Amino acid sequence: MSWFLEALKKYAVFSGRARRKEYWMFVLFYAIIYAVVLGIGVAAKMPALIALPVLALLLPGWGVTVRRLHDTGRSGWWILLGIVPLVGPIVLLVFSATEGEAGPNKYGPNPKEAPALV
């Protein structure tokens, strides 16, 4: 949960790097929140409610994805690959699952080597 909250604190930060753990914990909690709101929206027959978590977490999701791409040494503009049907999301999935660059890169220091935030 702390990784999800950390990503929310940096909701509009598109610089720096994000570890795989930070990215995937954000994705996990996003999916859980979306599933709960989806269930409530379907049960209450309120389809507009389903868009609420998508809109609320859109900017933090973009931010953590761009920082994850930076950790792999890629520009944040690679996020636009996600709009290419079928191939784009698969390529982004592979990029987000790969190990980040060891040591500092042009986007900042390695987040694994940075002191842990409590």
In tens, the pLDDT along 88-106 reads 999 999 999 999 998 889 9
- Which residues have C-beta within 8 Å of that of residue 57, sequence separation ≥ 6? 30, 33
Instruction: Supply the range of the domain harboring residue 68.
Output: 2-97
pLDDT digits (tens, 9 = 90+) for 56-100: 999 999 999 999 999 999 999 999 999 999 999 999 999 999 999
Inside any domain, residue 116? no
Domain count, the chain: 1
| pTM for the structure as a whole | 0.87
Inside any domain, residue 109? no
Inside any domain, residue 52? yes
Inside any domain, residue 12? yes
Inside any domain, residue 20? yes
Inside any domain, residue 83? yes
Nearest alpha-carbon partner for 74 in 60, 61, 92: 92
